[in-house]
C-alpha cells in the first residue's frame, strides 16, 4: 500500500467535507490542486500520466458551456428575464411557479451555478420593489436550479462527467430524467407555497443592482448558438464536446465583446477542482485499493453497483463530500444499465438537502446575505430537506418503474 497516496486522498476528501482544512487558507479547488501537485512531485504519477488522467472531453464540454452562459450573462439576458418575471402582474404563488419553471428550464441547458449567480441579485431587487419576501423565491431559485439541471447531461458538472464517462445518449437520458425532474419541480412549488403561506410580503429597503445592460444583439446571438447546440445534441451523434467548443469559438469571435470579459466569467476554480480530483483518483486507482474495497464490500453483501445501493450511496456521499467528488468515487461501480441516470439524478437531487450540498445553494445563500436577505441554514433546511426527500422518493419510484418495464420488455 502506498501510504502517501492514501493519506493524500483522505485529506483531500476530508477537505471536500469541511470546505477546507484547519490552519490552511485553501478551499476545495485549492486542496484538490495541492493534492495532485504533491502526487506528481513525489513521483506517484509523472506529468504524462497526470495529464492522461484528466478527462479532456469532460473539461472541454464544461468550459464551452461556461462560455455560452457567460455570453448570455454579458448580453443582459438573465437580467431582462428576471426583472420581467418580478414585474409581471402575478400573485406571489403564481410568480413562484413561473420562477421555478424558468430556473429549472434554464438550468437544464446552461450550467446551473451560473444561472443562480446571474439571477439571484436581480430577483432580490425585483422582490423588494414589490414588497415581497425574497427568501421563498431565493430558495425556489436554488432548489429549481438543482432539480432542473438533472434533466439533461449538460445541466451541471456531475452530469457532464457522467454523460462523458459512460457515453450516455443525450436523448435517452432526457427520456428517463424528464419525469422525476418535473415531479421534483412540482414538489418544490408545493413545499415552498405551504411553508411560506401568509409570509409572502415583507418591507425591505429597495435599491438597484448593478447588472450588464440588455443587448438584443448579444442576447440573440447567445440564444441562437444555444438553440443550435441543443439541436445538435438532440438530432445528431456529433461529439458533444466538439459541438460546444465550436459554439465557444464562435462566441469568442466578436467585434464588440472582448474575449477577456467572457473568459473572466469562466469558473476556473471548478475546472481546477475537476483536474485535481481526476489526478488524485487515478493515483488511488493505480494502487488497486478501490478494486479490493469493492470486492470486500460485495463479499459482505453490499454490492455497490446494484441500483438501490448505488442510489442511496450517491445521495449520501453527495451531501458528505459534495456531488462532483461523490460521482468520481462511485463511477467505477457504474456497471448497471441504469447506473448513469441513477448517479446523475441521485447526486443532483440530493444537493438540495443542506446548504453545502451544492454550489448553487452556496451561491444563492451568499448573494442573499450580501443583499440584506440572509438565509440561515435552518431556513434552508426546512425547505431543502422535504424537497430533497420528496424528490428522491419520486425519483426512486420512477427508476424502479423504468427498470421493471425494461426487464419485462
Residue 338 lies in a domain: yes
Residue 44 lies in a domain: no
Q: Which secondary-structure segment (H or E) carries 311?
A: helix 307-321
Residue 258 lies in a domain: yes
Residues 158-199 have pLDDT tens digits of: 999 999 999 999 999 999 999 999 999 999 999 999 999 888
What's the whole-number mean pLDDT along residues 345-357?
A: 89
Residue 384 lies in a domain: yes
Average model confidence (pLDDT) across the chain: 89
Residue 206 pLDDT: 62
Q: In total, how many domains does the chain have?
A: 1
Alpha-carbon distance 104 to 181, whole Å? Answer: 9
CB–CB of 85/126 below 8 Å? yes
Residue 186 lies in a domain: yes
Residue 108 lies in a domain: yes
Alpha-carbon distance 103 to 146, whole Å? Answer: 9
What's the whole-number mean pLDDT along residues 303-321?
A: 87
Residues 203-252 have pLDDT tens digits of: 766 666 677 888 999 999 999 999 999 999 999 989 999 999 999 999 99
Predicted confidence (pLDDT) at residue 409 exceeds the cutoff of 90: no
Domain span including residue 99: 56-408
Predicted confidence (pLDDT) at residue 1 exceeds the cutoff of 70: no
Residue 128 lies in a domain: yes
Transcribe 74-132 into DSSP letters: HTTHHHHHHHHHHHSS--HHHHHHHHHHHHHHHHHHS-HHHHHHHHHHHHHHHHHHTTB
Predicted confidence (pLDDT) at residue 297 exceeds the cutoff of 90: no
CB–CB of 126/87 below 8 Å? yes
Residue 35 lies in a domain: no
Residues 63-88 have pLDDT tens digits of: 999 999 999 989 999 999 999 998 88
pTM listed for this prediction? 0.88
Residue 407 pLDDT: 74
Amino acid at each position: 500500500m502506498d501510504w502517501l497516496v492514501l493519506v493524500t486522498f483522505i485529506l483531500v476528501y476530508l477537505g471536500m467535507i469541511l470546505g477546507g482544512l484547519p490552519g490552511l487558507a485553501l478551499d476545495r479547488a485549492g486542496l484538490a490542486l495541492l493534492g495532485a501537485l504533491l502526487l506528481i512531485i513525489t513521483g506517484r504519477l509523472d506529468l504524462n500520466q497526470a495529464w492522461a488522467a484528466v478527462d479532456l472531453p469532460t473539461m472541454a464540454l464544461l468550459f464551452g458551456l461556461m462560455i455560452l452562459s457567460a455570453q448570455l450573462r454579458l448580453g443582459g439576458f438573465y437580467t431582462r428575464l428576471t426583472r420581467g418575471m418580478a414585474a409581471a402582474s402575478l400573485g406571489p404563488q403564481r410568480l413562484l411557479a413561473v420562477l421555478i419553471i424558468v430556473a429549472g428550464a434554464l438550468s437544464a441547458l446552461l450550467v446551473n451555478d451560473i444561472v443562480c449567480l446571474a439571477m439571484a441579485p436581480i430577483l432580490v431587487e425585483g422582490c423588494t420593489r414589490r414588497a415581497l419576501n425574497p427568501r421563498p423565491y431565493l430558495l425556489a431559485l436554488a432548489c429549481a436550479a438543482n432539480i432542473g439541471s438533472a434533466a439533461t447531461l449538460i445541466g451541471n458538472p456531475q452530469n457532464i462527467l457522467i454523460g462523458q464517462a459512460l457515453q450516455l445518449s443525450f436523448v435517452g437520458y432526457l427520456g428517463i430524467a424528464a419525469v422525476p425532474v418535473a415531479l421534483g419541480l412540482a414538489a418544490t412549488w408545493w413545499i415552498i407555497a405551504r411553508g411560506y403561506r401568509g409570509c409572502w410580503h415583507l418591507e425591505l429597503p429597495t435599491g438597484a443592482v448593478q447588472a450588464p445592460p440588455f443587448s438584443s444583439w448579444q442576447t440573440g446571438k447567445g440564444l441562437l448558438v444555444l438553440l443550435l447546440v441543443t439541436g445538435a445534441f438532440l438530432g445528431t451523434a456529433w461529439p458533444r464536446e466538439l459541438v460546444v467548443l465550436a459554439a465557444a469559438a464562435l462566441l469568442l469571435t466578436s467585434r464588440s465583446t472582448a474575449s477577456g470579459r467572457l473568459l473572466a466569467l469562466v469558473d476556473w476554480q471548478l475546472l481546477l477542482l475537476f483536474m485535481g480530483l481526476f489526478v488524485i483518483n487515478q493515483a488511488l486507482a493505480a494502487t488497486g485499493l478501490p478494486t479490493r474495497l469493492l470486492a470486500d464490500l460485495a463479499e459482505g453483501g453490499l454490492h455497490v453497483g446494484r441500483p438501490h445501493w448505488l442510489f442511496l450511496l450517491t445521495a449520501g456521499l453527495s451531501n458528505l463530500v459534495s456531488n462532483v467528488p461523490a460521482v468520481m468515487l462511485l463511477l467505477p461501480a457504474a456497471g448497471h444499465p441504469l447506473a448513469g441516470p441513477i448517479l446523475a439524478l441521485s447526486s443532483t437531487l440530493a444537493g438540495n438537502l443542506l446548504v453545502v450540498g451544492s454550489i448553487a445553494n452556496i451561491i444563492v445563500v451568499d448573494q442573499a446575505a450580501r443583499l440584506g436577505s440572509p438565509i440561515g441554514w435552518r431556513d434552508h433546511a426546512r425547505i431543502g430537506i422535504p424537497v430533497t426527500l420528496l424528490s428522491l422518493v419520486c425519483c426512486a419510484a420512477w427508476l424502479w418503474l423504468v427498470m421493471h418495464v425494461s426487464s419485462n420488455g
